[in-house]
A = this chain, B = another copy of it.
């Protein structure tokens, strides 16, 4: 037990933030290898975000040159997907600052995304084929998920399973791949870590969906209640719709894809509370989180889940 405790304290000494600095440096090295001044200049303007995927890789695979490279690859892929998502969603804000498509135009956002994707793939070819394939497959999944997200947002959707399948593709698949590939890298059993990553990703996104309803614009770094206004019927809305009577269902349906008035916004938030739609979504996320804990017996990874479930932004 002492040895195990000692092992964890070593990991604690190398703090998450310090470990992430190595990943950031590796990302910049990969982008510098593209050898294009315009690309480098554009890349440094991107805000890094939580680096959840990189932290996950380092926590599972430890801190080695290979794990840092894998973490940097996964984060480059994530950055590329956000660049393209923001073009597709016509988003003007990302992580509280103006998105690249808003400041530099959609074209440059598309091109930078393509460059980051391809550079990540080039670097992936240095890994064994099973690792490279699982990460590459995740990119297909997330691109397909983005397409389904856009198609689903064109009409009202009250099918929770269809919504969760899309969430898996769009958000959880890359987190699952980060966990699976880093387990493969160090010879750990891949499936439990993959399940952990998948459930972390799903519950992460459900918490995001909840925060869109319960938080304010300053905390979110984007307008509150914007998901539903953009046509996205997230889990809280699906659960609320199930619980409403026919008259209320009509009102909620009519607000789909619209920027709500102040009174409509208040109504949505109140009904979410009175019908426990938020609570039900949170409970579902907590179930996924507990399943993930059961899959992987690792206190640090359990802490990641707890912090994610408790986050307010």
- Tell whether A114 pairs with B84 under 8 Å between CB atoms, given A122-B136, A139-B121: yes
Q: Does A264 contact B (CB under 8 A)?
A: no
Min Cβ gap A30→B in Å is 10
Residues of B within 8 A of A129 (CB): 125-126
Residues of chain B within 8 A (CB-CB) of A34 are 140, 144
Are the CB atoms of B115 and A143 closer together than 8 Å? Answer: yes
Q: Is the CB of A88 within 8 A of B111?
A: yes
Which one, B122, B124, B146, B151, contacts A114 given CB within 8 A? B146
Among A5-13, A102-110, A195-203, A244-252, the stretch that binds chain B is A102-110
* Contact, CB under 8 Å: A88 / B110: yes
A38 in contact (CB, < 8 A): yes
Q: Is A160 part of the binding interface, using a Cβ–Cβ cutoff of 8 Å?
A: no
Min Cβ gap A2→B in Å is 42
Query: Binding site of A, secondary structure by majority: helix, strand, loop or mixed?
Result: helix
The tally of residues in A whose CB lies under 8 Å from a CB in B reads 38
Does B88 lie within 8 Å of A147, measured CB to CB? no
Find the B residue at minimum CB distance from A81: B114
Taking CB atoms, residues of chain B closer than 8 Å to A39 are: 144, 147
Q: Are A147 and B36 in contact (CB under 8 A)?
A: yes
Residue among A34, A84, A115, A147 facing the most chain B CB atoms (10 A cut-off): A147
- The answer, among B38, B110, B133, B150, for a CB contact under 8 Å with A84, is B110
Chain B contacts of A36 at CB under 8 A? 144, 147-148
Q: Which residues on B sit within 8 Å (CB–CB) of A81?
A: 114
Asked whether A119 is an interface residue with its Cβ less than 8 Å from the other chain, the reply is yes
Question: In whole angstroms, how far apart are the Cα atoms of A87 and B110 in the complex?
Answer: 9
Among B108, B115, B133, B148, the residue within 8 A (CB) of A144 is B115
Which chain A residues in 108-167 approach chain B with CB under 8 Å? 108, 110-112, 114-115, 117-119, 121-122, 124-126, 129, 132-133, 136-137, 139-140, 143-144, 146-148, 150-151
Residues of B within 8 A of A133 (CB): 122, 125-126
Cross-chain contact of A146 among B87, B106, B111, B122 (Cβ < 8 A): B111
Nearest B residue to A80, CB-CB: B114
Q: Which residues of B contact A132 (CB under 8 A)?
A: 125, 132
Given the complex, which residues of B lie within 8 Å of A117, measured CB to CB? Answer: 114, 117-118, 139
Q: A38-B151, A144-B34, A144-B39 are in contact. Are A125 and B115 (CB under 8 A)?
A: no
The 0/1 profile, CB within 8 Å of B marked 1, for residues 17-50 of chain A is 0000000000000000010101100000000000
Could you pull out 9 A-B pairs where Cβ atoms are within 8 angstroms? Answer: A36-B144, A84-B111, A88-B110, A110-B110, A112-B147, A118-B136, A118-B137, A118-B139, A121-B139
Top 10 nearest A-B pairs by Cβ distance? A118-B139, A114-B143, A122-B136, A125-B133, A125-B132, A118-B140, A121-B136, A115-B143, A111-B147, A88-B107
